[in-house]
Every structure is written in C-alpha cells, then in structure tokens.
Amino acid sequence: MKPWSCVVVERTTYPGSTEEIVVPAFTDLGCVPDVDLFVGYSPERIDPGNERFKITNTPKIVSGLTADSLELTLAFYRTFIETLVPVSTLQTAEISKLFENIYRVVNIALVNEFQVICDRFGIDVWEVIAACSTKPYGFMPFYPGPGLGGHCVPVDPFYLAWKAREKRVNTEFIELAGRINANMPAYVVHQISAQLNDVHRPLKNSRVAVIGVAYKKNTGDVRESPALTIIEALLDGGCRVTYHDPHVPQLKVDGIVLESSDYSAEYLEEQDCVVILTDHDAVDWSLLKTDGARIVDTRNALRRLSTVKGTPVRDPSRA
C-alpha cells in the first residue's frame, strides 16, 4: 500500500471494531495515523431489487478516525454519492448501521408475532395493516412473512448483542426479536400441515410446491432465506418437495440439490399444496387460479386476484 493511502471500512460490524482491529493491523506494520495512513468508516446502504434508490442517490453515513481522515473519506465519496452524512466518530457510524438493521428486525418480529395473534382471532392481518396505514402520522407499515433472510438483517443485530455483553448490558429486546423471526419457518410448516390435514393428507408423500426461494422478491439471493429452513423441514417430514423461482435455477438444501421446476398450470395442478414464500413480479400469479392444490400464501401475493375459483385460499394470515 502506498503512503498517504486512505482506508475505508464499509462492512457492517460492532462499534469499536475499526479502531480495535483495523487500525492496529496497520500500525503493527509501521503505519502512523494522520502521517501515512488515514482511516474512515462508511457503512454500506444497498437495497437489492430497489429500482428507486441506488448507491448514488441513497444518503451515506461517513466518519473518520481523525478530522483529516474524515475530510479524505468525504472527498472520495463526493465523487459518486449525492448526499453524505458525516458523523463525529467511527463508533457512531458503526452503531448507526446496526441500529438501522435492528429497527427492521424488531419491527418485523413485532408484525410476525401480531400475525400469529390475528390468526388466533380469525382476523385478516393484511387488512389490519392496510387500515392502520391510512394514519398519516405515528405508523409505519411492516409486513409479516415466512421468516427473515438476507446477509445483513438476520445477522447484524447480534454483533451488537455480543459486544454489549462485554459492557454488562442485556439486549433482551434484540434477542427476543431474533427468536420470534427464527420461529416463523416452523409456523409456516404448521400451516402447510393444517392445509393438508383439511383434505386428510399427512405431510409424508404429499406433493408440495414452493414458489419463490430467494429471501427477497426480484432477487436471486438465498442467503439466510427462510425457504431453506422450510424446505428442509418438509423434506424431513417426508414431503415430495419441488420449487419454482425464476431467479434461482438451482438450490442446495441439506446436501440435496434441487432444480427449479417449470412453472405452469399443469405443474400447479399436480400439487397437494402450493406455498408462496417469495412474491417475485416475474411469476404469473393468475395461474394459481386452479381447482387443485391447497395454497399457503405467506406474502399476500394472491390479494391482487379477485378469487381463486374452487380453491380455499388460506395463508398464515387467514388461519
């Protein structure tokens, strides 16, 4: 590395890690901060599949080890980022990124738990959320689903929980949210079993089609996807599981390699149960207007259809 280089960390991590790990790694090599080394931290903000906010028009938090490091880091990002948000310390920037993800984790856990409550009362959780969303202040909608996926949100909050224990701080709220979200795949499997029981079929040898295995719509990313846990549980229960995902041609679950099936009315009619886990825009949901399989819709994808003739549409929000 050339002298006077500026090193910027973007990886999500616990507060203090840049100063505790990155800076000493360079000073051990003889680099002197503010003499021949400048260090910044600027957490990545990327929303896969978002067509409105890209890297250039998403405001970016920026920090530096020293004032000179901050100025160099700002100068670099100004070349391609429209709005920069400088903060006072590296730790402020590090924990800001964690709080963004914790905010999502906690609110997703809340709405997932609320979905289970609504199910017990026979209330449509999606209708409740739509009604609450009409309030112009004090409410931001989050939506239930089959669990939490991606390489950031399910994992990052626990960096802080781990580090907080060093400070003798309990993070009960974060850890509770993690447990609620981790239990959602089992809840979906229960709903699938309930659908099959309605037609006097056990899980074993039932044909179950999973539609969408990516953790998020319109992407092919399966990292930490709840679909993996759900498919594994169905296979363990003896189900004959297939899947379709236009963005994921091949999937490995517990050592078993599955290929994406061709999506057609005939394919759907062959199934005993169809499970919607990812609501990709590329999927023709109108083909689910069949008289064949039972349907578990964890994403409310079929709400856009007026009816599904002859098929009771039942999902975890309509138990």
Q: Residues with Cβ < 8 Å from 100, sequence gap 6 or more?
A: 45
Beta pairing partners, 33: 37
Q: Residues with Cβ < 8 Å from 50, sequence gap 6 or more?
A: none
CA triplet 84, 89, 91: central angle to 5 degrees? Answer: 105
Secondary element (H or E) of residue 60 = strand 60-64
Q: Give, in order, the Cα–Cα distances in Å from 144 to each of 60, 106, 206, 227, 315.
A: 28, 12, 26, 14, 11
6, 31, 132, 152: the active-site residue: 152
Gap between the Cα atoms of 180 and 187, Å rounded: 10
Catalytic residue at 152? Answer: yes
For 17-156, where are the alpha helices, taking DSSP H only?
Answer: 17, 23-27, 67-77, 90-121, 125-132
What residue type is assigned to position 229 of the chain? T
Beta pairing partners, 243: 210
Q: Give, in order, the Cα–Cα distances in Å from 44 to each of 60, 316, 317.
A: 8, 33, 34
Contact 274, 195 (CB under 8 A): no
CA 234 distance to own-chain centroid: 21
- In 3D space, the residue among 48, 20, 275 whose CA is nearest the CA of residue 153 turns out to be 48
Q: What value does the CA radius of gyration of the chain take, rounded to a whole number of Å?
A: 23
Contact 60, 45 (CB under 8 A): yes
Contact 82, 56 (CB under 8 A): yes
Q: Which residues are catalytic?
A: 152
